[in-house]
């Protein structure tokens, strides 16, 4: 079964709105693990608008599952992850001002740059994952860059899912097959939710991990975080 990593950025966004420590991001991460999440994901951005560097260091002390740190591999970001040494670093091509990740890497044009980053992560015992669109050539070049995994950008799947789920998932099956042929592990994330997650995992049974934040935290406002995590885990089991 694919593992569930909970992205807790939105919890930090809510906390930062008041400038205090409510909700407590660290306690929330601990509780997510207690309720069954198999990983915690954060995406510290340069403007510190949600997760801060201080959060990252505090979370490292309490995460007993898998710590996944996402971000653009600037010098500042690399300095942070090399100090923290999470289990996984997911490389995303976000410019500083973007609201959320909205496309994958051009692994062809950035092959040399990504190769250098992946080598540095590997030398420090950190698994690397490159965020990509579901395009076989981009995945093949992620493998050439030395990545351990790719994370498929799943917004296009989520956008089309309710109109034609077979059509929506088809390019992702092709991309996932390419990842397997290249010897890459496979992650997925962005706009996966309780409606569309189960079918995606069913159609790609070798999926290693999903990272879900916005939808999961939104569901938790109605259902509570424990029930929500259980529902997402059940969706992955189906």
151 is catalytic: no
Quote the tokens at residue 171: 């390019």
As beta bridge partners, residue 160 has none
Q: Which residue has the tokens 């569930």?
A: 4
d(CA 220, CA 4): 15
Which one-letter DSSP state was computed for residue 201?
Answer: H
Q: Which of 50, 66, 70, 209 is catalytic?
A: 70
3-state SS, residue 188: strand
Residue 99 Rama label (left phi>0; alpha psi -120 to 50; beta): alpha
Q: Which of 43, 50, 66, 151 is catalytic?
A: 43
Candidates 177, 238, 230; CA nearest to 35 is 230
190 is catalytic: yes
d(CA 187, CA 39): 12
70 is catalytic: yes
Q: Which residue has the tokens 């050439």?
A: 144
Q: Which of 66, 151, 190, 209 is catalytic?
A: 190
- Residues identified as active-site: 43, 70, 190
């Amino acid at each position: 079964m694919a593992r569930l990593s909970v992205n807790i950025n939105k919890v930090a966004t809510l906390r930062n709105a008041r400038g205090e420590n409510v909700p407590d991001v660290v306690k929330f991460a601990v509780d997510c693990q207690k309720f069954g999440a198999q990983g915690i994901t954060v995406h510290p951005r340069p403007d510190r608008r949600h997760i801060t560097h201080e959060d990252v260091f505090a979370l490292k002390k309490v995460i007993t599952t898998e710590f996944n740190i996402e971000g653009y591999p600037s010098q500042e970001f690399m300095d942070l992850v090399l100090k923290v040494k999470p289990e996984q670093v997911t490389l995303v091509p976000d410019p500083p001002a973007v609201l959320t990740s909205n496309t994958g890497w051009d692994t062809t044009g950035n092959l040399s740059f990504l190769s250098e980053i992946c080598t540095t992560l590997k030398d420090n015992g950190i698994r690397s994952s490159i965020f990509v669109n579901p395009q076989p050539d981009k995945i093949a070049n992620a493998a050439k860059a030395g990545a351990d995994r790719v994370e498929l950008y799943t917004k296009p799947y989520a956008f089309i899912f309710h109109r034609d789920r077979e059509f929506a998932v088809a390019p992702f099956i092709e991309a996932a097959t390419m990842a397997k042929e290249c010897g890459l592990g496979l992650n997925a994330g962005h706009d996966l939710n309780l409606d569309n997650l189960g079918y995606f995992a069913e159609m790609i049974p070798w999926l290693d991990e999903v990272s879900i934040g916005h939808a999961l935290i939104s569901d938790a406002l109605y259902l509570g975080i424990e029930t929500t995590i259980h529902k997402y885990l059940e969706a992955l089991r189906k």
